[in-house]
Amino acid sequence: MSLQQLSANKVFGGQHVRYEHQSTVLNCSMQFAVYLPPQVELGKPLPVLYWLSGLTCNDENFMQKAGALKAAAELGLVIVAPDTSPRGASVPDDPEGAWDFGLGAGFYVNATQAPWAKHYQMYDYVVKELPALIEKHLPVSDKRSISGHSMGGHGALICALREPQRYQSVSAFAPVCQPTQCPWGEKAFSHYLGAERETWGEWDASVLMAQATQHLPMLVDQGDADNFLVEQLKPAALQDAAKRAGYPLTSRLQPGYDHSYYFIASFIDEHLRFHAQALKA
Protein backbone atom coordinates (compact mmCIF):
# COMPACT_ATOMS: atom_id res chain seq x y z
CA MET A 1 0.00 0.00 0.00
CA SER A 2 1.55 3.30 -1.10
CA LEU A 3 1.03 6.96 -0.24
CA GLN A 4 0.54 9.77 -2.74
CA GLN A 5 1.49 13.18 -1.42
CA LEU A 6 -1.09 15.84 -2.25
CA SER A 7 0.45 18.91 -0.64
CA ALA A 8 3.04 20.06 1.90
CA ASN A 9 3.41 23.29 3.85
CA LYS A 10 6.08 24.32 6.30
CA VAL A 11 4.66 25.46 9.65
CA PHE A 12 6.37 26.04 13.01
CA GLY A 13 9.53 24.46 11.65
CA GLY A 14 7.76 21.24 10.68
CA GLN A 15 5.65 20.07 7.77
CA HIS A 16 1.90 19.75 7.33
CA VAL A 17 1.43 17.09 4.64
CA ARG A 18 -1.73 15.72 3.03
CA TYR A 19 -1.74 12.23 1.55
CA GLU A 20 -4.05 10.01 -0.47
CA HIS A 21 -4.09 6.21 -0.54
CA GLN A 22 -6.30 3.31 -1.53
CA SER A 23 -7.92 1.81 1.55
CA THR A 24 -8.47 -1.95 1.51
CA VAL A 25 -10.66 -1.74 4.62
CA LEU A 26 -12.96 0.96 3.26
CA ASN A 27 -12.88 -0.09 -0.41
CA CYS A 28 -12.23 3.44 -1.61
CA SER A 29 -9.59 6.13 -1.91
CA MET A 30 -8.94 8.07 1.31
CA GLN A 31 -7.15 11.27 2.24
CA PHE A 32 -5.56 12.19 5.55
CA ALA A 33 -3.30 14.89 6.99
CA VAL A 34 -0.12 14.61 9.06
CA TYR A 35 1.81 17.18 11.02
CA LEU A 36 5.50 16.25 11.25
CA PRO A 37 7.22 18.45 13.85
CA PRO A 38 10.79 19.70 13.34
CA GLN A 39 12.18 16.94 15.60
CA VAL A 40 11.77 14.42 12.75
CA GLU A 41 15.04 15.82 11.39
CA LEU A 42 16.85 14.30 14.39
CA GLY A 43 16.13 10.83 13.00
CA LYS A 44 14.41 9.38 16.05
CA PRO A 45 10.88 7.95 15.59
CA LEU A 46 8.29 10.20 17.23
CA PRO A 47 5.04 9.38 19.06
CA VAL A 48 1.71 9.98 17.33
CA LEU A 49 -1.56 11.59 18.38
CA TYR A 50 -4.50 10.47 16.24
CA TRP A 51 -7.23 13.09 15.98
CA LEU A 52 -10.78 12.07 15.01
CA SER A 53 -13.01 14.87 13.78
CA GLY A 54 -16.76 15.35 14.11
CA LEU A 55 -19.80 15.36 11.86
CA THR A 56 -19.39 16.99 8.42
CA CYS A 57 -15.61 17.42 8.88
CA ASN A 58 -12.69 15.94 6.98
CA ASP A 59 -8.93 15.81 7.55
CA GLU A 60 -8.52 19.57 7.01
CA ASN A 61 -10.74 21.06 9.73
CA PHE A 62 -8.61 20.29 12.77
CA MET A 63 -5.30 21.14 11.15
CA GLN A 64 -6.54 24.54 10.00
CA LYS A 65 -8.78 25.60 12.90
CA ALA A 66 -7.57 24.05 16.15
CA GLY A 67 -4.31 25.94 16.55
CA ALA A 68 -2.56 22.74 17.61
CA LEU A 69 0.57 22.80 15.49
CA LYS A 70 2.70 25.23 17.49
CA ALA A 71 2.40 23.14 20.65
CA ALA A 72 2.90 19.93 18.66
CA ALA A 73 6.14 21.38 17.30
CA GLU A 74 7.33 22.27 20.78
CA LEU A 75 6.39 18.87 22.21
CA GLY A 76 7.68 16.78 19.30
CA LEU A 77 4.31 15.18 18.59
CA VAL A 78 3.21 13.87 15.21
CA ILE A 79 -0.51 14.49 14.62
CA VAL A 80 -2.50 12.35 12.20
CA ALA A 81 -5.99 13.49 11.15
CA PRO A 82 -7.99 11.00 9.06
CA ASP A 83 -11.24 11.70 7.27
CA THR A 84 -14.56 11.08 9.04
CA SER A 85 -16.01 8.55 6.58
CA PRO A 86 -15.27 6.67 3.38
CA ARG A 87 -15.59 8.82 0.26
CA GLY A 88 -16.27 8.41 -3.44
CA ALA A 89 -19.04 8.00 -6.00
CA SER A 90 -19.55 4.33 -5.06
CA VAL A 91 -19.92 5.04 -1.32
CA PRO A 92 -23.58 5.25 -0.21
CA ASP A 93 -24.78 8.43 1.46
CA ASP A 94 -27.88 9.41 3.43
CA PRO A 95 -30.68 9.05 0.85
CA GLU A 96 -32.26 12.25 2.18
CA GLY A 97 -28.98 14.17 2.03
CA ALA A 98 -28.86 14.83 5.77
CA TRP A 99 -25.59 16.02 7.35
CA ASP A 100 -25.66 13.70 10.37
CA PHE A 101 -25.39 10.37 8.54
CA GLY A 102 -23.49 8.88 5.61
CA LEU A 103 -20.64 10.84 4.01
CA GLY A 104 -18.81 12.80 6.69
CA ALA A 105 -20.56 10.83 9.41
CA GLY A 106 -19.00 7.37 9.70
CA PHE A 107 -19.28 7.30 13.53
CA TYR A 108 -16.08 5.21 13.73
CA VAL A 109 -17.96 1.90 13.88
CA ASN A 110 -17.72 -1.21 11.70
CA ALA A 111 -21.05 -1.34 9.86
CA THR A 112 -22.76 -4.71 9.61
CA GLN A 113 -25.76 -3.77 7.46
CA ALA A 114 -26.12 -3.39 3.70
CA PRO A 115 -25.32 -1.23 1.83
CA TRP A 116 -23.10 0.37 4.48
CA ALA A 117 -20.97 -2.63 5.44
CA LYS A 118 -19.01 -2.67 2.17
CA HIS A 119 -17.39 0.69 2.93
CA TYR A 120 -18.21 1.93 6.44
CA GLN A 121 -15.55 0.10 8.45
CA MET A 122 -14.16 3.23 10.07
CA TYR A 123 -13.14 1.57 13.33
CA ASP A 124 -10.83 -0.89 11.59
CA TYR A 125 -9.51 1.94 9.45
CA VAL A 126 -8.49 4.29 12.26
CA VAL A 127 -7.39 1.59 14.72
CA LYS A 128 -5.59 -0.83 12.39
CA GLU A 129 -5.12 0.06 8.73
CA LEU A 130 -4.15 3.71 9.03
CA PRO A 131 -1.67 3.29 11.94
CA ALA A 132 -0.01 0.39 10.10
CA LEU A 133 0.35 2.63 7.04
CA ILE A 134 1.69 5.54 9.08
CA GLU A 135 4.20 3.38 10.94
CA LYS A 136 5.44 1.81 7.70
CA HIS A 137 5.97 4.99 5.70
CA LEU A 138 6.58 7.83 8.18
CA PRO A 139 9.21 8.44 10.90
CA VAL A 140 7.00 7.50 13.84
CA SER A 141 7.15 5.07 16.75
CA ASP A 142 4.45 2.66 17.90
CA LYS A 143 3.58 4.98 20.82
CA ARG A 144 0.07 6.23 20.09
CA SER A 145 -2.56 8.35 21.77
CA ILE A 146 -5.97 9.36 20.48
CA SER A 147 -8.30 12.34 20.75
CA GLY A 148 -11.28 13.82 18.97
CA HIS A 149 -14.27 16.15 18.93
CA SER A 150 -18.01 15.39 19.10
CA MET A 151 -18.58 12.31 16.90
CA GLY A 152 -14.78 12.05 16.83
CA GLY A 153 -14.68 12.29 20.62
CA HIS A 154 -17.01 9.30 20.68
CA GLY A 155 -14.63 7.60 18.25
CA ALA A 156 -11.57 8.32 20.37
CA LEU A 157 -13.24 6.99 23.51
CA ILE A 158 -14.44 3.74 21.97
CA CYS A 159 -11.10 3.07 20.28
CA ALA A 160 -9.26 3.49 23.57
CA LEU A 161 -11.82 1.56 25.60
CA ARG A 162 -12.07 -1.35 23.16
CA GLU A 163 -8.31 -1.71 22.61
CA PRO A 164 -6.49 0.09 25.44
CA GLN A 165 -3.28 -1.80 24.76
CA ARG A 166 -2.84 0.19 21.55
CA TYR A 167 -2.82 3.62 23.21
CA GLN A 168 -1.01 5.53 25.95
CA SER A 169 -3.79 8.06 26.63
CA VAL A 170 -7.13 9.35 25.36
CA SER A 171 -8.90 12.70 25.41
CA ALA A 172 -12.01 14.23 23.90
CA PHE A 173 -13.76 17.54 23.34
CA ALA A 174 -17.57 17.45 23.60
CA PRO A 175 -17.78 13.70 22.88
CA VAL A 176 -21.03 11.86 22.21
CA CYS A 177 -20.84 9.83 25.43
CA GLN A 178 -23.94 7.66 25.11
CA PRO A 179 -24.76 7.23 21.41
CA THR A 180 -27.22 4.42 22.07
CA GLN A 181 -29.45 6.96 23.81
CA CYS A 182 -29.20 10.12 21.68
CA PRO A 183 -30.70 11.11 18.30
CA TRP A 184 -27.39 11.26 16.40
CA GLY A 185 -26.29 7.87 17.63
CA GLU A 186 -29.65 6.17 17.29
CA LYS A 187 -29.94 7.24 13.66
CA ALA A 188 -26.42 6.16 12.77
CA PHE A 189 -26.45 2.89 14.71
CA SER A 190 -29.85 1.77 13.39
CA HIS A 191 -28.52 2.10 9.83
CA TYR A 192 -24.94 0.90 10.29
CA LEU A 193 -25.59 -1.80 12.90
CA GLY A 194 -29.23 -2.78 12.42
CA ALA A 195 -32.34 -2.76 14.56
CA GLU A 196 -31.07 -5.07 17.33
CA ARG A 197 -30.17 -2.48 19.94
CA GLU A 198 -28.46 -5.02 22.21
CA THR A 199 -25.51 -5.04 19.80
CA TRP A 200 -25.08 -1.27 19.93
CA GLY A 201 -23.42 -1.28 23.34
CA GLU A 202 -20.20 -2.53 21.74
CA TRP A 203 -19.83 1.01 20.34
CA ASP A 204 -21.06 3.07 23.32
CA ALA A 205 -18.37 4.64 25.52
CA SER A 206 -20.58 4.70 28.60
CA VAL A 207 -21.24 0.96 28.27
CA LEU A 208 -17.62 0.11 27.48
CA MET A 209 -16.28 2.17 30.38
CA ALA A 210 -18.53 0.46 32.90
CA GLN A 211 -16.98 -2.86 31.79
CA ALA A 212 -13.37 -1.65 31.54
CA THR A 213 -10.66 -3.54 33.40
CA GLN A 214 -7.64 -1.82 31.83
CA HIS A 215 -7.42 1.93 32.38
CA LEU A 216 -5.75 4.74 30.44
CA PRO A 217 -5.24 8.40 31.35
CA MET A 218 -8.44 10.07 30.10
CA LEU A 219 -9.30 13.76 29.81
CA VAL A 220 -12.73 14.97 28.64
CA ASP A 221 -13.75 18.61 28.21
CA GLN A 222 -17.31 19.81 27.68
CA GLY A 223 -18.60 23.37 27.34
CA ASP A 224 -21.58 24.35 29.44
CA ALA A 225 -22.86 26.63 26.64
CA ASP A 226 -22.88 23.74 24.14
CA ASN A 227 -26.35 23.52 22.56
CA PHE A 228 -25.92 19.75 22.15
CA LEU A 229 -24.85 19.04 25.73
CA VAL A 230 -28.07 17.63 27.17
CA GLU A 231 -29.75 15.94 24.19
CA GLN A 232 -26.78 14.60 22.24
CA LEU A 233 -23.59 14.51 24.34
CA LYS A 234 -24.80 13.24 27.76
CA PRO A 235 -21.55 13.59 29.75
CA ALA A 236 -23.24 12.41 32.95
CA ALA A 237 -23.54 8.90 31.48
CA LEU A 238 -19.76 8.69 31.07
CA GLN A 239 -19.12 10.13 34.52
CA ASP A 240 -21.50 7.61 36.12
CA ALA A 241 -19.83 4.73 34.27
CA ALA A 242 -16.39 5.93 35.42
CA LYS A 243 -17.54 5.94 39.03
CA ARG A 244 -18.94 2.40 38.74
CA ALA A 245 -15.76 1.08 37.12
CA GLY A 246 -13.28 3.09 39.16
CA TYR A 247 -11.98 4.54 35.89
CA PRO A 248 -9.54 7.48 36.30
CA LEU A 249 -11.56 9.95 34.22
CA THR A 250 -10.80 13.66 34.40
CA SER A 251 -14.04 15.31 33.23
CA ARG A 252 -14.24 19.10 33.07
CA LEU A 253 -17.17 21.41 32.33
CA GLN A 254 -15.81 24.64 30.90
CA PRO A 255 -18.05 27.67 31.59
CA GLY A 256 -19.22 29.70 28.61
CA TYR A 257 -17.79 27.47 25.87
CA ASP A 258 -19.85 26.03 23.02
CA HIS A 259 -19.39 23.20 20.50
CA SER A 260 -17.18 25.06 18.05
CA TYR A 261 -13.50 25.04 17.17
CA TYR A 262 -13.12 28.14 19.34
CA PHE A 263 -13.65 25.76 22.27
CA ILE A 264 -11.09 23.29 20.93
CA ALA A 265 -8.53 26.02 20.25
CA SER A 266 -8.89 27.30 23.82
CA PHE A 267 -7.83 24.01 25.44
CA ILE A 268 -5.94 22.08 22.76
CA ASP A 269 -2.53 22.92 24.22
CA GLU A 270 -3.56 21.38 27.54
CA HIS A 271 -4.68 18.22 25.75
CA LEU A 272 -1.43 17.99 23.80
CA ARG A 273 0.63 18.34 26.96
CA PHE A 274 -1.56 15.71 28.62
CA HIS A 275 -0.83 13.28 25.76
CA ALA A 276 2.86 14.18 25.55
CA GLN A 277 3.32 13.29 29.22
CA ALA A 278 1.76 9.85 28.66
CA LEU A 279 3.53 9.18 25.37
CA LYS A 280 6.95 10.04 26.74
CA ALA A 281 6.56 8.36 30.13
8 Å CB contact between 85 and 99: no
The single residue of 23, 145, 150, 171 carrying the catalytic annotation is: 150
DSSP strand E in 180-275: where?
Answer: 218-223, 249-254
Residue 4 has pLDDT above 80, yes or no: yes
Q: 140 has which bridge partners? A: 46
The single residue of 204, 221, 226, 271 carrying the catalytic annotation is: 226
Which pLDDT does position 281 carry in this prediction? Answer: 85
Alpha helices in 76-182 (DSSP H): 122-124, 130-137, 151-162
Per-residue confidence band for 80, with pLDDT thresholds at 50, 70 and 90:
very high
Name all contacts of 181-186 with Cβ < 8 Å and 24+ positions apart. Answer: 181/234, 181/237, 182/231, 182/232, 182/233, 182/234, 183/231, 183/232, 184/55, 184/100, 184/151, 184/232, 185/107, 185/154
The single residue of 154, 259, 271, 275 carrying the catalytic annotation is: 259
Residue 1 has pLDDT above 90, yes or no: no
* pLDDT tens-digit readout, 16-70: 999 999 999 999 999 999 999 999 999 999 999 999 999 999 999 999 999 999 9
Q: What does the DSSP 8-state code read for residue 18? A: E
150 is catalytic: yes
8 Å CB contact between 81 and 54: no
259 is catalytic: yes
Average per-residue pLDDT in the chain?
Answer: 97
Which pLDDT does position 107 carry in this prediction? Answer: 98
Query: CA 33 to CA 58: how far, in whole Å?
Result: 9
Average pLDDT over residues 242-260: 97
